[in-house]
């Protein structure tokens, strides 16, 4: 093959390839749902390709005609659009923008590119229009989901926070107040448990829709989670607007909510309010405080409203301070065990001792366990603290047993959080074995509230420990639900009758009767009884007369140090 023939073949092959490519391009453009405009500056030639008609209904003959497309675009997008198709004016090589067409409402992505030739003069221009309506609607939906709560249509938590920030910035400038109000449905869990999640959801939705009616320029309504709603009121004029909103809500709850299956549900709500700038100037803190007072109102009896005030703030700050100190206290071992004796009511001989923790802080002085134990439960430090209590009291107890020939019980308070730990039982047994304690000498005190969240898990662990020999005591009986029928099903040995019961039992005939019948029933269940907080001789006499087994209280002995217990053991 000579050189010439080779060149010709090569040219033909390249031509064919080129033609094929052009054919392919044409096919792609013709079947495309996009529209293309191609303009050659050199030849002043314009070509319109693709599905032009689905975007515009005018014909482009000269490059100037393209400008008419601007009129088809929604006014809000016209400037941007014009900038995009006339990108050479800005010296750009490529520009993209998404615009809305005024007539059809279509979302169109417009992409323009320019090829610049020698000397920086534009030589070719391509503009493409692409329908992105589906994608864009999806984005709008995503945006909606980012701002709104799908179930109630109210603002969601995040958007509430951003709008509340706006309120607060404005209030700062205008020297106004902003009230944040948390609203929570009382006993919603019972509704969910009793009627099912679907009804629960429906109620949440209906209530949310009712709250939505308060939405106004100066009121933001949002759905946080579950049955929690949060409102913000701009310039609430002291308490009057807040009270107005609260009373409207409360009045509404006096009528039932209807469900789709025709049921009527009555609800009550509890509200908590914190105000900018009084409670805090920080958005998240305000919300937090409103929630705290709401929870406090629940605790003090539901169906009410509570305002955050300086007293609460002081208490809250105090708790925060203590919470922060807890870890250091644990690290520096600022804790000490005290023991309070328990005596048999009839004989007066020692029944046992209850281990009670004490915390001596260098700045605050003595901090009561009644104050710090709930905080330690909240932040989890109760687990190491509780483990230390177990270890330290068992060690002390075993020293006593080695030194004094006395048979008595060691009672230790155990928090629900400790019970919930998977390794609780194993660790406790390990400690008992480490010190060689007889498990039947150990009694664990647990409160009713510890059973509420995790009944099965906790009672299972109680059973394992009981099979091992440890005694279980129900603490604070008389303060919780105190249903005698359910006591029967619990794996317990002892019942501790709370001080509040002891305080009131001599007040009147009725309390007398209640106490006596409880004592009778408890006896029939085979439980041992310990009356707590006995301060007066007449209480002791009365308890003896109704056959209460044991007593514990300031009358017979306060909680005291290890060495003071030793003098009791010696006697």
Which three-class secondary structure state does DSSP give residue 381?
A: coil
Q: Is residue 97 near ligand C2E by the rule CB under 6 A?
A: no
Q: Is residue 559 near ligand C2E by the rule CB under 6 A?
A: yes
Number of residues that bind ligand C2E (CB under 6 A): 24
Q: Is residue 535 near ligand C2E by the rule CB under 6 A?
A: yes
Residue located via tokens 């929570």: 184
Min dist. Cβ of residue 431 to ligand C2E (A):
14
Give the x-and-dash track for 426-445 against ligand C2E (CB under 6 A).
-------------------x
Min dist. Cβ of residue 554 to ligand C2E (A):
4
- Which listed residue (257, 553, 565, 568) binds ligand C2E by CB under 6 A? 553
Min dist. Cβ of residue 251 to Ca ion (A):
41
Residue closest to 108 by CA, chosen among 92, 128, 94: 128
Q: Which stretch binds ligand C2E (CB under 6 A): 121-129, 194-202, 319-327, 547-555?
A: 547-555
Nearer CB in complex with ligand C2E: 110/356: 356
Residue closest to 325 by CA, chosen among 296, 279, 288, 360: 360
Min dist. Cβ of residue 537 to ligand C2E (A):
12
Q: Calculate the dihedral angle through the C-alpha atoms of 199, 204, 209, 213, rounding to the nearest 10 degrees.
A: 140
Q: Is residue 465 near ligand C2E by the rule CB under 6 A?
A: no
Kindly identify the residues of this chain, within the stretch 267-296, that bind ligand C2E according to CB under 6 A.
Answer: none
- Rounded CA gap, 381 and 395, in Å? 21
- Which listed residue (97, 222, 270, 415) binds ligand C2E by CB under 6 A? 415
Give the x-and-dash track for 325-344 against ligand C2E (CB under 6 A).
---------------x----
Which three-class secondary structure state does DSSP give residue 300?
A: coil
Q: Is residue 543 near ligand C2E by the rule CB under 6 A?
A: no
Kindly identify the residues of this chain, within the stretch 206-235, that bind ligand C2E according to CB under 6 A.
Answer: none
Give the x-and-dash track for 374-413 against ligand C2E (CB under 6 A).
------------x--x-----------------------x
Nearer CB in complex with Ca ion: 66/502: 502
- Rounded CA gap, 47 and 37, in Å? 6
* Close Cβ partners of 271 (under 8 Å, ≥ 6 residues apart): 181, 182, 183, 184, 246, 249, 294, 297, 304, 305, 306
Nearer CB in complex with ligand C2E: 270/552: 552
Whether residue 424 has a cis bond before it, omega within 30° of 0: no
Min dist. Cβ of residue 376 to Ca ion (A):
15
Q: Which two tokens stand for residue 349?
A: 């001989």
- Rounded CA gap, 295 and 316, in Å? 13
* Close Cβ partners of 1 (under 8 Å, ≥ 6 residues apart): none
Q: Which two tokens stand for residue 179?
A: 């009230």
Residue closest to 94 by CA, chosen among 103, 85, 102: 85
Q: Is residue 370 near ligand C2E by the rule CB under 6 A?
A: yes
- The residue ranges that bind Ca ion (CB under 5 A) are 413, 445, 475-476
Residue closest to 224 by CA, chosen among 280, 275, 176, 272: 272
- Residue 357 interacting partner from ligand C2E, Ca ion, none (CB closer than 5 to 8 Å by kind): ligand C2E
Min dist. Cβ of residue 136 to ligand C2E (A):
58
- Which listed residue (475, 515, 518, 550) binds ligand C2E by CB under 6 A? 475
Nearer CB in complex with ligand C2E: 357/519: 357
* Close Cβ partners of 35 (under 8 Å, ≥ 6 residues apart): 48, 49, 50, 51, 52, 54, 55, 56, 128, 129
Q: Which two tokens stand for residue 514?
A: 């209640």
Q: Which residue ranges make up the site for ligand C2E (CB under 6 A)?
A: 340, 355-357, 368-370, 373, 386, 389, 413-415, 445, 475-476, 532-535, 552-554, 559
């Amino acid at each position: 093959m000579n050189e010439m023939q080779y060149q010709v073949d090569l040219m033909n092959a390249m031509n064919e390839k080129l033609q094929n490519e052009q054919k392919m391009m044409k096919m792609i453009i013709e079947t495309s749902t996009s529209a293309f405009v191609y303009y050659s500056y050199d030849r002043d030639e314009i070509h319109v390709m693709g599905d032009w008609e689905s975007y515009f209904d005018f014909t482009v003959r000269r490059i100037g005609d393209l400008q008419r497309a601007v009129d088809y675009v929604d006014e809000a997008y016209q400037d941007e659009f014009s900038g995009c198709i006339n990108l050479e004016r800005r010296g750009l090589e490529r520009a993209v923008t998404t615009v809305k067409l005024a007539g059809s409402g279509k979302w169109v992505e417009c992409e323009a590119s320019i090829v610049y030739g020698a000397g920086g003069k534009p030589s070719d221009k391509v503009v493409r229009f692409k329908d992105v309506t589906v994608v864009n609607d999806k984005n709008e939906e995503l945006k909606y989901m980012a701002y709104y709560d799908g179930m109630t249509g109210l603002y969601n938590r995040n958007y509430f926070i951003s709008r509340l920030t706006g309120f607060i910035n404005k209030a700062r400038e205008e020297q106004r107040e902003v009230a944040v109000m948390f609203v929570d449905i009382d006993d919603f869990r019972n509704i969910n448990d009793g009627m099912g999640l679907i009804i629960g959801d429906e109620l949440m939705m209906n209530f949310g829709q009712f709250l939505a009616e308060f939405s106004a320029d100066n009121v933001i309504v949002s759905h946080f989670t579950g049955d929690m709603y949060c409102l913000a009121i701009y310039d609430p004029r002291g308490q009057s607007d807040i009270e107005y909103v609260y009373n409207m809500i409360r009045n509404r709850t006096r009528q039932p909510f209807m469900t789709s299956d025709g049921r009527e549900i009555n609800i009550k709500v509890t509200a908590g309010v914190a105000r900018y700038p009084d409670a805090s100037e920080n958005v998240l803190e305000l919300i937090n405080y409103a929630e705290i007072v709401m929870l406090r109102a629940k605790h003090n009896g539901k169906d009410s409203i509570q305002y955050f005030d300086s007293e609460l703030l002081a208490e809250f700050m105090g708790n925060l301070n203590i919470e922060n100190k807890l870890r250091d206290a644990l690290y520096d071992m600022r804790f000490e065990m005290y023991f309070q004796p328990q005596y048999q009511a009839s004989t007066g001989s020692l029944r046992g001792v209850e281990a009670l923790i004490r915390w001596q802080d260098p700045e605050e002085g003595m901090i009561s366990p009644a104050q710090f134990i709930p905080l330690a439960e909240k932040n989890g430090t109760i687990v190491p603290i509780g483990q230390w209590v177990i270890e330290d009291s068992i060690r002390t107890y075993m020293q006593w047993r080695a030194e004094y020939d006395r048979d008595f019980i060691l009672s230790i308070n155990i928090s629900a959080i400790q019970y919930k730990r998977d390794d609780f039982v194993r660790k406790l047994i390990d400690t008992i074995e480490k010190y060689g304690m007889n498990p039947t000498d150990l009694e664990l005190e647990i409160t009713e509230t510890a059973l509420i969240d995790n009944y099965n898990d906790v009672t299972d662990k109680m059973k394992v420990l009981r099979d091992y020999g440890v005694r279980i005591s129900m603490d604070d009986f008389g303060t919780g639900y105190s249903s005698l029928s359910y006591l029967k099903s619990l794996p317990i040995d002892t019942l501790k009758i709370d001080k509040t019961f002891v305080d009131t039992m001599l007040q009147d005939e009725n309390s007398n009767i209640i106490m006596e019948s409880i004592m009778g029933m408890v006896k029939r269940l085979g439980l041992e009884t310990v009356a707590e907080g006995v301060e007066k001789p007449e209480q002791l006499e009365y308890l003896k007369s109704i056959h209460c087994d044991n007593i514990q209280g300031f009358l017979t002995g306060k909680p005291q140090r290890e060495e003071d217990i030793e003098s009791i053991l010696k006697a």
